[in-house]
Amino acid sequence: KILVVDDDRNLLKLFKYVLEKDGFAVITAMDGESGLELALVERPDLIMLDLKMPKLDGIEVLRKLKADPLTAAIPVVVITASAQKADAERALREGAVGYIIKPFRIAELRDCVRAALSFEGDDW
């Protein structure tokens, strides 16, 4: 099960379409607060998290996820625009296992998800 948190409705639809086609159950949230709630309730196998969202941004959501024993072990991949690469690197320091830069190709998304789901320690 994959949780995708992004304030872009079209991007959520794309993630849902591609990942469900690949056999994953996908749940979505349009803001950080809803994403945190769903992470606690649903306990997904992976969280795809946009960094730039209103109210609670992705870095803050990531910190809260990593601070909670119920969600700390869930791998998180951050979604970022190319102009925000420094933010993605900051997210890695905060505990994300990887990042994907928008715009991305579908093959990149699939590779990223596969790598994150098999992530153990330093093999990203």
Domain-embedded: residue 113: yes
Q: Is residue 124 part of a domain?
A: no
Q: Report if residue 123 sits inside a domain.
A: no
- Residue 102 belongs to what H/E stretch? strand 98-102
Question: What CATH number does residue 65 fall under?
Answer: 3.40.50.2300
- The neighbour count for residue 86, using CB atoms within 10 Å, is 9
User: Which pTM was predicted?
Assistant: 0.93
Quote the mean pLDDT of the chain.
93
Q: From CA 1, how far away is CA 8, in angstroms rounded?
A: 20
* pLDDT at 124 exceeding the cut of 60: no
Residue 82 lies in a domain: yes
What pLDDT is attached to residue 83? 74
In this structure, the strands spanning 98-102 and 76-81 are parallel
49 part of a folded domain: yes
- Contact of 117 with 75, CB cutoff 8 Å: yes
What is the domain count for the chain?
1
| Neighbour-count burial for 10-37, b at 16+ CB within 10 Å, e otherwise | ebbebbbeebeeeebebbbbbbbeebbe
Residue 61: give the domain boundaries.
2-117
**Structure-token pair, residue 37:** 């709630």
Quick check: is 108 in a domain? yes
Q: Is residue 91 part of a domain?
A: yes
Residue 81: its H or E element: strand 76-81
User: How does pLDDT run across 22-47, given as a tens digit for each residue?
Assistant: 999 999 999 999 999 999 999 999 99
Average pLDDT over residues 38-66: 96
In a domain, 76, yes or no: yes
